[in-house]
Amino acid sequence: MASLTSASVTARKIVKYSLGIITFIVLARLTFLSGVNLYEKFFPDPPPKPTVKFGKLPSLLFEEDESADGLNYILETIDGTLPTFAEQADVYLMPQPLSGIRAVDTAREVAASLGFDKDGRELVETVYLFSKNLSPSTLSMNIVTGVFSISYDLNSTPQIFDQIPPTPETATSQVKGLLRGGNLLKDLDTGPVKHQFLRIESGELVKAISLSEANVIKINLFRREYGQGERKLPSVTQDSEESNVWFMLTGSNNSAQIILGEYHLFPIDTEKTSTYPVKTSQQAWEDLKNGKAFIVNRGNNEDGKITIRNIYLAYYDPGQYTPFYQPVAVFEGDNGFVAYVPAVTSEFYGE
């Protein structure tokens, strides 16, 4: 009996000490991990240095901008301060369009997918014109770049404006379906979509307040975001309200008709990218104040006093071929003001 009692006591002690050791190990591990997390929070590893594989970048392509003379800027963001930009951003290679032996055949296939007669005719070198049977619509396409425009003889069928145009959802679905059929949707598939309601007034298209007052709906398709993590950025164009790919539709949901359209989309090679250092928001703000910005839209600011409400980074998509897809700092202000400042630090720009 004495030996059994002794064995029982020993077993209880073993269990007790084992539980104590296990508890100590668990608590020690949790304490260690918490310490590591706190250290990494307050002393994070510095990000890898920008790779700058492409060397100096060409200057961004900006069309003639609106005058910046006499502009004075006032910062009034939500918190009254400048935002914190990421220290670096991705820059992507945009392959140069090249003419191939199948350029004409490819253009004809695209025209057919868009509902036009594939037997187009050459207008000038590399530009072909395609027509549509039983419709006063034409398609003009650059067979090298793939850029095209759709136009419609509105005077021949003015009754197309008699019906309320399709809803934004229906119009977007129709446009995307049309482009998808010709393998033209690419990185527009998951990008933002903006619509505008338009009406005919004295022979001109002007903004309408609602669908019920509109004769036309305009669908703007923008590229998806690019970049990694906090470097993921939206796309902006030379016109703050218009994308490089847009279409105007009339008619009802069941008989919508594309009357005008523009397609200026150049591919991005996501396998060929490099990181570049980015200006701080303070540096971009000083560039804006010193006239080193592209004024996209001066807006209704006749007194020259511009109140800036929103500042962020975005990729600039000029709508024409450029060797690289690059970031800009975007400044948005009251009364429609928009301006861009090149975001990559100045020493990495060439002539």
- List, for residues 217-249, the tens digit of each pLDDT value: 999 999 999 998 888 999 999 998 899 999 999
What distance lies between CA 72 and its chain's CA centroid?
29
pLDDT average, residue stretch 11-23: 66
Cβ contact 286:244 at 8 Å? no
Cβ contact 233:92 at 8 Å? no
Q: For residue 151, what pLDDT is reported?
A: 94
- List, for residues 272-289, the tens digit of each pLDDT value: 999 999 999 999 999 999
Q: Report the C-alpha gap between 170 and 163 in whole angstroms.
A: 15
Q: For residue 220, what pLDDT is reported?
A: 98
Q: Report the C-alpha gap between 321 and 128 in whole angstroms.
A: 19
Per-residue pLDDT band for 304 (boundaries 50, 70, 90) equals: confident
What torsion, rounded to 10 degrees, do the Cα atoms 15, 17, 23, 27 define? Answer: -170
- List, for residues 43-72, the tens digit of each pLDDT value: 566 678 999 999 999 999 887 777 777 899
- Helix (H) or strand (E) segment spanning residue 20: helix 2-42
Q: For residue 284, what pLDDT is reported?
A: 97
pLDDT average, residue stretch 312-339: 96
Question: In angstroms, what CA-CA distances link 193 with 121, 185, 222, 223, 260?
Answer: 33, 13, 6, 9, 17
- Helix (H) or strand (E) segment spanning residue 312: strand 305-316
Which residue is listed with tokens 């979509």? 193
β-bridge mates for residue 127, sequence order: 124, 142
Cβ contact 39:269 at 8 Å? no
Q: Report the C-alpha gap between 336 and 344 in whole angstroms.
A: 25
β-bridge mates for residue 121, sequence order: 129
**Sheet (strand 121-124) strand order:** 121-124, 127-132, 135-142, 148-152, 257-263, 245-250, 216-221, 193-201, 204-207
Closest CA to 349 of 109, 61, 22: 61
Considering only CA atoms, give the Rg of the chain: 29
